[in-house]
Structures are given as structure tokens and as C-alpha cells.
């Protein structure tokens, strides 16, 4: 048992910060959260000095690709790399990426698509205690129709590529693809409902039919798993919501009707604002984009704010997801909170999106996401006040200590304040 005396506590559920709080950790769980001066405990309880720090829940990134480092297309070719590296290399690299995210206070990650089930292997290794890393929810291979977003014609017809994407056509083909992922023990199924279309008047293209998406969702419900849908806009999003997906990923073009249905169906929105921002900032040459693709990306960059603003006003639950591993490097996860603030969220709302809402998106709201009695002790000590400037969460030197389930997993422990005695 130990106590953290927090100068400022942002517990993930309150709209206001709490000052001079005592967080009592017993084993993996939080035993109590109370004003420090009211604590009365048995003698010789270790008290750690967090009086100069803000304490927040361990953060959640709901959209990463754990096997890939991310960056510009010039420095890293996402599609080619996973097919030229040894599976062992991908697994070792995944571990390194997960540790980078953990060191920045992200104690939980959802990896949406990874070749050769290296995400499943890493999750299992972490859960068994073989290696130390963040809590992982994994999708295995994303499910795509032939020629869809994750089954593009990169190669000659004479080249056979396997283990990269689960391809399914028709309801039964998609059921088979879903069952293949479930057989490998995934936590979530990812589908590619719709992709992009370079016609800027309707810049989306539905890939999976409603019947195909409904088949995957039915398999997920039977296995008590969730479904995340890669989307852009148009009827593909409407069909995905009706089919029963649990989260809409990306979705820069959402209508009010779709957003209202998301509220009614408790469907989360993971807008992945950071990856688009990084792609635009890197520039056309760095991402090896042709003129039409660049125009599409710029349209996303302009229109995404409108969808985000309306989602906030209508009351959709918006969760942090970065697409780390694509145009975003691992360890840059907290940039998404800054993007939410740019889009109209308060710093506190952005922190809630990265904690309580992210946990709920994964179905883990009873275990993590807030600092309260009975929850797992995922805690991050931050040097500074993220309510004043949420960007400090992007600075490695500001992330002082990261605890996962009551164990220090990154950073350094705070100084010992005292041993609290019963006579205090």
C-alpha cells in the first residue's frame, strides 16, 4: 500500500480539478481518494510527494498501429514495410513502440490492424508478464472487401501476399474473415466500411455493403466483442451505424442525422485529427502524394472541424485516437488532445476524451479511465498544469511517473514525503 499526495487531481470524471488530494493505492487498485489532510491510516504507510504535480488517469489511445513506427512516406512506407520485414522484427518493433506510448502516459492502446497477429502476440506477452507494456486491445487483421482500403492493388497479379489483411466478400465471406480474427483471440474487429474518393463533390466511397457489415457485427455480438469502422463519409457511415458498429474512426464527413444516431446507439467517434494534421504539415512531397490525393487531404483538413464541432454540440462521445504508426510517430499520442482543443474542446474535455471516454470506447469503463475507488491504479504524474496548457502532455520531461495497476512502469518515482502514522 502507498499514498500519492497530489497537488492537483484531474480524476477523469469531474469538471473541476481537486487540490491536495490523497490517492491510496492498495495492490492493483485505488482504495480511496480523499483530501490528504483527512487521511487516517495505519502506521508506516509510504507517502509519495506529488504536491508539485498534476495527477491524471492513465490515458487511452483508441487508434494505433502498433507494428509500424509512423512518419512521412519518404522515411517509412507503411504498405511495403510490413511485407519486407521479418515477423520477429515486427514483433520486437511493436514492443518498442508500445513502450514509447507508455512512457508518455498512455497505459492503454487499441491497435486496429497489424500483420501476422504480432499485436495479439504482444498483448499476450504483456498479459502473461513476459514483457512490460501498456494494456492492449487488438484487432489482428482488419477486414476489407477485395480491392478495398486495406486490399489495394499494390502488386502484380503474379505476386501473392498473405497475412496482411482479412479479405471477405459477401456476408458469408465477411463472417469467415471475422471468425478467423476471433479464432486468434482478438479483442475488437475492425472493418473498412468506406474509403476516400478523389471526386471532391462526394469525397467518399462505400466499400462494404450493409449486409457485409451486419454479418461482421453479428459475429462480434455473439463473441461479446466490439467493432470499429474505418470511414470517411456518406452512406457507408449510415450503414455502419445501422449494422451495429461501436465506433466510427476518422469520419471527416458526418451528417447531423448520423451523429444523432450515434448518440442514440452509444456509438463513439474517434476522429484521428492528428494524422491528418501531420500529413498536411509534412507536405505533398514528403507524403509522396499526387495532385488529386493532396487535394482530397486538404479537403479533409478543412472539413473535419465541422464534423467535430457538431459532434460536440450534439453530444457524441469523442475518444482520443491518433493513428500512431501512420503519419504519427509513437510517443506523439498527446498531440490529439491539442487538436481537440483547437477544435473547440476545453482542456478538461480533451483530458476526459483521453481517459474516461477512451476507456468506455473499449468497454473498460468499470476498470480504468477515472481515478476513483475500485478502479485499477493507472496514474500519471505530470509536472505542470495541463488545464493551463494541454500541450505539456506532449513533453517527455513533463511526464514524471507512469503507474499501471499500481506499478511504476515508466519515469521515476516521486520523492518520499513521509511515512504516515496513525497519530498524525
Query: What does the pLDDT read at residue 195?
Result: 87
Query: DSSP code of 415?
Result: P
Query: What does the pLDDT read at residue 423?
Result: 47
Question: What are 283's strand-pairing partners?
Answer: none
Query: What does the pLDDT read at residue 326?
Result: 93
- pLDDT above 90: residue 366: yes
CA proximity to 413, closest of 403, 401, 404: 401
Residue 369, C-beta contacts closer than 8 angstroms, at least 6 positions apart: 12, 57, 60, 355, 356, 357, 358, 359, 360, 375
CB 406 within 8 A of CB 377: yes
CB 205 within 8 A of CB 177: no
Q: What is the mean pLDDT of residues 318-337?
A: 97
Q: For residue 223, how many C-alpha atoms fall within 13 Å in the half-sphere facing its CB?
A: 22
Query: What does the pLDDT read at residue 328?
Result: 97
User: Can you list the domains of the chain with their CATH numbers?
Assistant: 2-57+370-420 (2.30.40.10), 59-361 (3.20.20.140)
142-174 pLDDT, tens digit each: 999 998 887 776 667 776 666 678 999 999 999
Query: What does the pLDDT read at residue 16?
Result: 96
The pairing of strands 188-192 and 226-233 is parallel
Query: DSSP code of 142?
Result: P
Query: What does the pLDDT read at residue 424?
Result: 43
Q: What is the mean pLDDT of residues 304-308?
A: 98
187-217 pLDDT, tens digit each: 999 999 998 877 888 999 999 999 999 999 9
- pLDDT above 90: residue 52: yes
CB 338 within 8 A of CB 386: no
Query: What does the pLDDT read at residue 422?
Result: 45
351: how many CB neighbours lie within 10 A of its CB? 27
Q: Which of 45-59, 192-206, 305-319, 375-389 has the lowest mean pLDDT?
A: 192-206
Query: What does the pLDDT read at residue 74?
Result: 82
Set of cell numbers at residue 405:
495497476
Higher pLDDT, 30 or 74: 30
CB 361 within 8 A of CB 270: yes
Query: What does the pLDDT read at residue 210?
Result: 98
Strands (E) in 58-99, as ranges, are: 59-64
Average pLDDT over the chain, rounded to an integer:
94
- pLDDT above 90: residue 77: no
Query: What does the pLDDT read at residue 371?
Result: 98
What are the Cα distances from residue 192, in Å, to 9, 57, 261? 39, 31, 20
91-115 pLDDT, tens digit each: 999 999 999 999 999 999 999 999 9
CB 413 within 8 A of CB 373: no
CB 116 within 8 A of CB 86: no
Distance of CA 359 to the CA centre of its chain: 9
- pLDDT above 70: residue 420: no
CA proximity to 404, closest of 145, 92, 136, 66: 136
With a pLDDT cut of 90, the percent of the chain lying above it is: 87
Query: What does the pLDDT read at residue 40?
Result: 84
Query: What does the pLDDT read at residue 153?
Result: 64
- pLDDT above 70: residue 379: yes
Amino acid at each position: 500500500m502507498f499514498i500519492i499526495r497530489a497537488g492537483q487531481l484531474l480524476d477523469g470524471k469531474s469538471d473541476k480539478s481537486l487540490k491536495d488530494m490523497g490517492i491510496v493505492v492498495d495492490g492493483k487498485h485505488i482504495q480511496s481518494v480523499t483530501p490528504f489532510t483527512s487521511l487516517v491510516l495505519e502506521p508506516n504507510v509510504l507517502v509519495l510527494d506529488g504536491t508539485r504535480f498534476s495527477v491524471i488517469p492513465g490515458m487511452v489511445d483508441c487508434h494505433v498501429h502498433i507494428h509500424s513506427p509512423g512518419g512521412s512516406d519518404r522515411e517509412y512506407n507503411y504498405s511495403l514495410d510490413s511485407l519486407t520485414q521479418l515477423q520477429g522484427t515486427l514483433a520486437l518493433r511493436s514492443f518498442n513502440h508500445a513502450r514509447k506510448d507508455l512512457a508518455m502516459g498512455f497505459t492503454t492502446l487499441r491497435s486496429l490492424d497489424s500483420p501476422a497477429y504480432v499485436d495479439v502476440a504482444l498483448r499476450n506477452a504483456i498479459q502473461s508478464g513476459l514483457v512490460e507494456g501498456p494494456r492492449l486491445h487488438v484487432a489482428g487483421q482488419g477486414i476489407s472487401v477485395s480491392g478495398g482500403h486495406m486490399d489495394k492493388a499494390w502488386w502484380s497479379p503474379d505476386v501473392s501476399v498473405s497475412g496482411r489483411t482479412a479479405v471477405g466478400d459477401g456476408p458469408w465471406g465477411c463472417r469467415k474473415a471475422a471468425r478467423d480474427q476471433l479464432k486468434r483471440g482478438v479483442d475488437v474487429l475492425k472493418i473498412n466500411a468506406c474509403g476516400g474518393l478523389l471526386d471532391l463533390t462526394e469525397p467518399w466511397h462505400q466499400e462494404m455493403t450493409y449486409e457485409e457489415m451486419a454479418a461482421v457485427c453479428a459475429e462480434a455480438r455473439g463473441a461479446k466483442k466490439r467493432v470499429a469502422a474505418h470511414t470517411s463519409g456518406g452512406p457507408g457511415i449510415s450503414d455502419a451505424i445501422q449494422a451495429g458498429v461501436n465506433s466510427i474512426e476518422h469520419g471527416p464527413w458526418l451528417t447531423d442525422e448520423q451523429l444523432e444516431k450515434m448518440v442514440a446507439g452509444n456509438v463513439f467517434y474517434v476522429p484521428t485529427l492528428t494524422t491528418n494534421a501531420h500529413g498536411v504539415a509534412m507536405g505533398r512531397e514528403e507524403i509522396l502524394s499526387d495532385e488529386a490525393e493532396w487535394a482530397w487531404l486538404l479537403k479533409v483538413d478543412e472539413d473535419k472541424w465541422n464534423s467535430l464541432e457538431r459532434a460536440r454540440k450534439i453530444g457524441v462521445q469523442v475518444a482520443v485516437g491518433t493513428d500512431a504508426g501512420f503519419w504519427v510517430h509513437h510517443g506523439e499520442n498527446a498531440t490529439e488532445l491539442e487538436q481537440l482543443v483547437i477544435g473547440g474542446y476545453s482542456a478538461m474535455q480533451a483530458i476526459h476524451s483521453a481517459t474516461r471516454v477512451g476507456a468506455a470506447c473499449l468497454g473498460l469503463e468499470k476498470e480504468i479511465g477515472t481515478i476513483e475507488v475500485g478502479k485499477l491504479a493507472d496514474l500519471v504524474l505530470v509536472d505542470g498544469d495541463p488545464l493551463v496548457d494541454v500541450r505539456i502532455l506532449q513533453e517527455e520531461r513533463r511526464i514524471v511517473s507512469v503507474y499501471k495497476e499500481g506499478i511504476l512502469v515508466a519515469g521515476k518515482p516521486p520523492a518520499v514525503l513521509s511515512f504516515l502514522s496513525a497519530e498524525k
